[in-house]
Structure 1
Amino acid sequence: MFAAILTMAGLVSATTDDKRPAGDDSAGSWAAPWTPGTPAVPVPIFTDEAPSREPVATLTTTAAARTSRRATVAPPSSPAPPAPTPSRTPAPSPGDRVSLVADGTAGLLLRHRDFRLRLDPVGDDLSRADATFVLRRGLADSRCLSLEAVNYPGLFVRHQNFALVLRRPDRGATFAADATFCRQDTGGTTVLRSANFPDHYLIADGGLIGLRRVPAANAQRFRFTAPAAPVANALRGGYHR
C-alpha cells in the first residue's frame, strides 16, 4: 500500500511539471509541445561569442579584387595597319624613250652634241632632243642595252677609241659590241659597263663621256627619267645638223 501511494505521488509531480506556463524557464530549457498541423518554429541557438564577419569581409575583398582586375585589363586593340610600301619608279623597258640624269650634278643630262656624248644642261628644244634616247635591247647581248638617238633614228651610242660617240651601225660584230652597255643598279642609280670591256665603265672627263677602267664605285652614276623632249618635237627633221 505504501509503495502504491509513493508511485501515485510521482505521477502527480510529473504532470505538474509538464503544465508550466510558457516563458517560465526557471528550471532550464523548456519547449512547448508540438501540435500536429502547426508549422515548426526554428529554435534560435545563442552562444556567448559574437558572430564572425570574416566570410563577409572575404567576399567583399574578392569582389573588389575582381573589379580591380577588370579595370586594369585594357580591351584588345585592333592591329596597326601595315606600313605603306615605298613606291618605286618602274625600270625602263626596250622601246621606251628615256633621258639619263647625271647623279651628283645640278641637273646635267647625257646628250650628244657634234656627235660626241657629254654632260650638259638642257633648256631649249634642241638640247632636250639631243638628251633623249630610245632604249633598245643590247645589239650584242640582249641582257644589256643600246641607246638610239631619238632625233637621229638609226644612230647609236658606241665607244670608239674609248670616247662615246654617235654612229650608224655597219652591221659588223665590233660595232654591235661597242654599242652594247650593261646596267649595274645600286641605290636607285645606274652605272653603265662596256659589254666587250667588262672592267671599263662610263665616266665624265671634262664634261665629255668616255670609257675608263675604274672600279664601279668611281663610275658616273645615272638616273633614268622621263624623256626630256616631247616625242613630236624630238622626231622633227629640223634637228639634224
Structure 2
Amino acid sequence: MSETSGNSGLRILVVEDDPALQVMLRYNLEKQGYRVEVAGDSESAQAAFSSFRPALVLLDWMLPGGASGLDLCRRFRASPGGHELPIIMLTARSEEADSIRGLETGADDYLTKPVSMATLEARIRALLRRTQAPAETLAFEDIVLDLVKHRVERGGRSVQLGPTEFRLLEFFMRRPGRVFSREEILRSIWGENIHVEIRTVDVHIRRLRKEINGPDEKDLIRTVRSAGYALDSEGE
C-alpha cells in the first residue's frame, strides 16, 4: 500500500501565519493524501480545532490573535482526548531552550524552519503510526475511558465504576449517538444465555449516571421513551 492511500482521510490542522508557507504545506500534505485545514491566527486555530477534529496539528510558535503556539498547545492538550493528539511545533525559534520549552509544554516533536518536506512528512508518519494503533482509550465529550488501565476520567477527575458500569460505558462509547433497547444492552453486557431481569439494565444505567455525572455536569446518557438509551451530546 502506498503512503498516499494509507493517509486517506487523516486530517491535519496547519496553524501558520505565513501565507506562502501555508500554500506550500497544504499542497504537499494534500499530495500525500491528507485532508488539510489551515489557520493563520490563534482565534481561527481554536475554531478550526473544534470543528475540524484533526488527527495531527502542525503548530507555529509566534501567531497573531492574542495566543501563542505554546498557549494553543496547552489548550489542545487539555481538550477531551487531547492527551493523545500528535502535535508538532514548526517554528523559526531555533534555540535549544525554545525546543525544550516547546516539548515540555506538550508538543510531541519540535522542528525549526526551514525544514525539508521529506523530513516533515517522515515525522508526521512516525507520529501517526503511533497514534493510529488500535485504540487503548475511548473519548466522548469530556469523558476518557482507558481500556488498559481500566480507568475513567471526566473533565480530568477520576470516576470510580464497578465492572458492569465500566462495560456499559465502554459499550456506549464505542457507538455514541446510537439508541439501544434494553434487550440489546442486556444481550451485549450480560450475554445471551444468562437470565437477568430486563429492569436490571435500568438499575445499572442509574448507577452509571450517578458516578459519571458530577455537580453541574451534563447528563450524557439519554433516555428514549419506549426505545432505550443512548450516549448523546444532547443528554437528558
Same fold per TM (> 0.5)?
no
The structure with the greater share of residues assigned to helix is 2
Question: Which has the bigger relative contact order, CA under 8 A and spacing at least 6?
Answer: 1
Q: Which has the higher strand share?
A: 1
The structure that has the greater radius of gyration is 1
